[in-house]
Structure 1
C-alpha cells in the first residue's frame, strides 16, 4: 500500500510518499460521509508499536486514517514551488 501527500509550499517544498509493507488493516474515518478519501490537511501523525509491527494514525482536518502494517518507508520527493507561492 502506498500513500502520497502533496507539498504545501508554505511549509514543505517536497512531496511525501509512504510505502507500507505487510498491511494487516486500514481504516479511513471521514468526519463527513461525502468526503470519501479526501481528509484535508494533515494536522498530526503518530507511529506506534502494534502486534503486527506498527500502526500509523494520520489525523486530518476532515477525518483520520489508521494503518497497521509490518513496516513502512517514507520518501521525500522533489517538486516545484513557485517563489510566489
Structure 2
C-alpha cells in the first residue's frame, strides 16, 4: 500500500498498523475517487478501530470472480465475533484486474482477517488494496459499492 501501514513486525510479534498518512491524503485523493469508492473510503467509521463498522478484523468469507462479462466481482467479509455486529460485502464494477497473493508468514490465525485497506484513484476508476493476515488482495475497477449487513 502506498500510504496505509499494515506491516508484520516480528519484534511484537504482530502488525504495525497506521492509516494516518492515508487519512491525511484522503481529502485530496477522494476528489478523484468514483462515487462508491469515495463514500466507502471517507466513511467516518472506516478507520475508527473502536467502531463496529471499521474494516479492521473482518474475516474473509467469500470471493466471487465472475465468468460472464456482465457480472460484477464481489468479496464478502464475515463479522469478527468480538468486534462487528454485521459483515461487509464489496461489489466491484468494471473490474480490469484482480489478484490475491498469499504470503503464509503467519500460521496462527484461523481465518484470513483484514488488517487494513486503501483505495487509490486511477484514470479509469480506482485500485482497492486489502491487506489480510496472510495475503494481499488487489482489485482495479471502475467503482465499488460497500454494503454492511448479512449480504
Greater fraction strand:
1
Residue 69 of structure 1 corresponds to 141
Residue 87 of structure 2 corresponds to 15
* Structure 2 stretches lacking a partner, 5+ long: 1-72, 105-110
Residue 4 of structure 1 corresponds to 76
For normalisation by structure 2, the TM-score amounts to: 0.46
Residue 36 of structure 1 corresponds to none
Task: Summarize the alignment of residues 20-31 of structure 1 with structure 2, pairs less than 5 Å apart.
Answer: 20-31=92-103
- Give, in whole Å, the separation in 2 of the partners of 1:51 and 1:30: 28
For normalisation by structure 1, the TM-score amounts to: 0.79
What displacement does 1:9 show?
A: 1.9
Stretches of 4+ moved more than 2 A in 1? none
* Structure with more relative contact order (C-alpha pairs < 8 Å, separation 6 or more): 1
Greater fraction helix:
2
* Structure 1 stretches lacking a partner, 5+ long: 33-38, 80-85
- Give, in whole Å, the separation in 2 of the partners of 1:6 and 1:43: 14
Larger Rg: 2
Q: Is the 8 A contact 1:24 1:52 kept in 2?
A: no
Aligned-residue Cα RMSD (Å) equals: 1.6
